[in-house]
Amino acid sequence: MRTVCIACIVACLLAVSAAAQESADLNFASGLEQFQNIHGMLPAYLDNIGLRMLTERNRKVEGLANIEDVKKRGAYLRQRILDDVGGFPEKTPLNARVVGVLEGPGYRIEKVIFESQPHFYVTANLYLPTTGHPPYPAILYPLGHERGGKTNPTWQQMLGSLATKGFVALTWDPIGQGERLQIYDEDLRESKVGDSTTEHTEVGAQCLLVGDHMARYMIWDGIRALDYLLSRKEVDPARVGLTGNSGGGASTAYIAALDDRIQVAAPSCWITSWRLMLQTLGPQDGEQTFPFWLRDGLDYPDFLYAFAPKPYLVLSAIRDFFPIAGVRDTFAEAKAVYSAIGAKEKLAMFEADDGHGYSKPRRMAAYDWFSRWLKGAEDKSPEPQIKMSTPEELRCTPTGQVSTSLGGESVFTLNQKRLERLKANRTTRTGDLSREVQELIHYELSTGPLQDRPYGTLTRSGYHIERLIYESEPGIMIPSLLYVPDAGAGKKAAVLLVSGDGKADSAPEAEQLVTSGMVVLSIDARGFGETKVTAEVNSRDFDRYFGDFDGSMTALVIGKTMVGMRALDITRGVDLLLARQDVDPDKIYAYGKDGGAMPALYAAVLDHRIRKVALEGMLSSYESVVNNRVHRQVFDSLVPGALKFYDLPDLVAALAPREVWIVSGTDPMGHGLPASEIKKEYSRAVDAFRNAGAEQALHIRDHRPGEDTITTYHELTDGR
């Protein structure tokens, strides 16, 4: 028995060793020194573009020399934000009501609920001085991502201190925090997806698809909170300041730039520079990063110019994860501009030798700044000791959640309504969508000659594998395996195979196709296989839900999309196949699997040289992302504003009468959907193929357990 066990162990070890060797043969980085840093290729490519854009932006702002120039720059930023967020809703009645009062020493707290949009409830706490004489100066206080929403002890300390010092202060639960969780789970008693940044980005992805932005809701809540604050007789409307930390610092920068009623601003632990962000943290969560921001020539100092020449205090931490060098760079640039327009004393920066958060040193600097500009006097007095209230005391709803106490709208339901309006206004076409698609995915065809380089040949039974790379565009090298049958002298059909798991893991499919007599080009499109980014992402939640979030969001910031860039990788692979003497130019097909399916679909829409396309394991539709509260691993497939013009079934319809396979489609969580459900969702594509006299060319199938590639895609191989 012992001998048998040892033999089994040896056999297993040999099998593992053989598999490891096979994987090494199919990959480049394991044996070639020049590919050791290939995992960093995509980030380097994206960052370099961003840095070039920032350099160009800096040239433009060097000429800001007078108030007219600065006002023009601020107006440009405002318009870009409005374009990015899809505009704001109309102002509707706030229907504000006080639902409770807490009495404290020197101030009281009113618990308020108002509607920033109809039935979109905002839970807020208003801190009112009970000493001194109204009307008081006021502070609008948007919150960051710290747990607890408005009940967080740090916020209570500062809000209570402001009220004690004679300011009316208003704070509210941001979307996805406190009493306003958007993806609330009653069993977990928390968000289904964990951290607020994850929830913001989950919901934010849905916003992007309908042409909006998560910041649209965050900013609008703040503007309507300001409306409520100014409706109070205790408030002097000519003396209103704004401050918040981290995500609250982002909201401070946004609202200050957009709303002229704010007179003094002091964002804490958020202002930095995009140059340093690209080199360190990368983009932040859904409401903090705007698509096309760098492409449009914007950076953090532009928020200050949109507020100039009013008083602006940049609060920072030397040991913050937001890089302090970026804060200093931004301040230096803005200081020169403020000086040029005669407002040098209205811009200041305060650094504390501590970490991220609204720590006491920054709070003390803020008290003094607001007192100076809203009261006309310094405030060097100690911070008062504030009695903390419990979360239960401060909450505005009976259950502690708007969703279970009041119901009403959520960002999810509002997105669904936006989608229905878009669908009603959209003119669905089943013809040529290529112009809209090319513009939306920012597909930029590379016109130069294709550069490729061989790296040896692997011999197999009946075929051989040529290892090669080709340059999709400058800075992007695509590791590839070209499977070539040994038999047959004529021109052969060829299929370009792209899988989200990479070329090594898709070797079984490639081997089945090549043994059927086809030439197979299996590629690692950027971000797949060997080129997959291995750097740490923001958090485990971000990794699970969004994959390479940094890469996908950086692409959007510089005006690109991941699907657009990967579609280019595929069409350049078609160039490579067409250059071969053994390939029939009329029989070039694409096979996209899992993460590679959607780029293959986009490539087929844009490149009519692809005569057939197989899409396996593809997200069924963008609409399904908007109609499901939670999604995973779809972020790199997003196209901002796509649902204004088309959905994935429309793209498939546009391929008629070419042959198309949709196999084992998935829902937004990655769960497989039966072919019967996919057929219903793709009814307009079915109609398009029928109208084109090609009803049999659209194959919607399930991939059955144990079924090989040739059986599933029998027609793709021309019946071989």
**Span 538-570, pLDDT tens digits:** 445 677 899 999 999 999 999 999 999 999 999
Average pLDDT, the chain: 92
Average pLDDT over residues 406-435: 86
In this structure, are residues 571 and 445 in contact, taking their beta carbons and an 8 Å threshold? yes
Residue 657: closest CA among 621, 615, 684, 696:
696
The pLDDT value recorded for residue 9 is: 43
In this structure, are residues 166 and 137 in contact, taking their beta carbons and an 8 Å threshold? yes
| CATH 3.30.70.1140 for the 436-712 domain, yes or no | no
Q: Where in the chain is the domain with CATH 3.40.50.1820?
A: 67-421, 436-712
Q: What is the DSSP letter of 666?
A: B
Average pLDDT over residues 442-446: 88
Report the 3 state secondary structure along 169-194: EEEECCCCCCCCCCCEECCCCEECCC
Q: Determine phi and psi for 284, rounding to 5 degrees.
A: -100, -170
Tokens of 282: 């990368």
Q: Is 436 left (phi over 0), alpha (psi -120 to 50) or beta?
A: alpha
DSSP of 608-632, one letter per residue? TT--EEEEES-BS-HHHHHTSS---
Cis geometry, peptide bond prior to residue 142 (ω within 30 degrees of 0)? no
Greater confidence, 128 or 21? 128
Residue 222: closest CA among 315, 143, 109:
143
In this structure, are residues 410 and 626 in contact, taking their beta carbons and an 8 Å threshold? no
Residue 299: closest CA among 58, 93, 514, 578:
58
What does pTM read for this prediction? 0.93
Is pLDDT of 31 > 80?
A: no
* Integer angstrom CA distances of residue 124 from 152, 175, 194, 220: 13, 12, 23, 14
Tell the CATH topology of 67-421.
Rossmann fold (3.40.50)
Average pLDDT over residues 375-391: 96
Task: Classify each residue of 575-586 as buried b or exposed e, where b means 16 or more C-beta atoms within 10 Å of its C-beta.
Answer: bbbeebeebbee
In this structure, are residues 330 and 272 in contact, taking their beta carbons and an 8 Å threshold? yes
pLDDT more than 90, % of the chain: 84
Q: What is the DSSP letter of 672?
A: B
The pLDDT value recorded for residue 428 is: 52
The pLDDT value recorded for residue 36 is: 67
Q: Give residue-wise pLDDT tens across range 460-506.
A: 999 999 999 999 999 999 999 999 999 877 899 999 999 999 999 99
Average pLDDT over residues 149-166: 97
Average pLDDT over residues 131-158: 95
The pLDDT value recorded for residue 286 is: 87
Greater confidence, 434 or 468? 468
The pLDDT value recorded for residue 42 is: 96
Is pLDDT of 53 > 90?
A: yes
Average pLDDT over residues 572-593: 97
Is pLDDT of 326 > 90?
A: yes
Is pLDDT of 6 > 70?
A: no
* Integer angstrom CA distances of residue 411 from 176, 287, 365, 424, 583: 10, 13, 36, 20, 51
Spatial distance between the Cα atoms of 709 and 707, rounded to a whole number of angstroms: 7
Is pLDDT of 8 > 50?
A: no
Spatial distance between the Cα atoms of 312 and 369, rounded to a whole number of angstroms: 9
Residues near 110 by Cβ (< 8 Å), separated by ≥ 6?
98, 100, 101, 125, 126, 128
Tokens of 423: 């669908």
Average pLDDT over residues 182-198: 90
Spatial distance between the Cα atoms of 490 and 660, rounded to a whole number of angstroms: 26
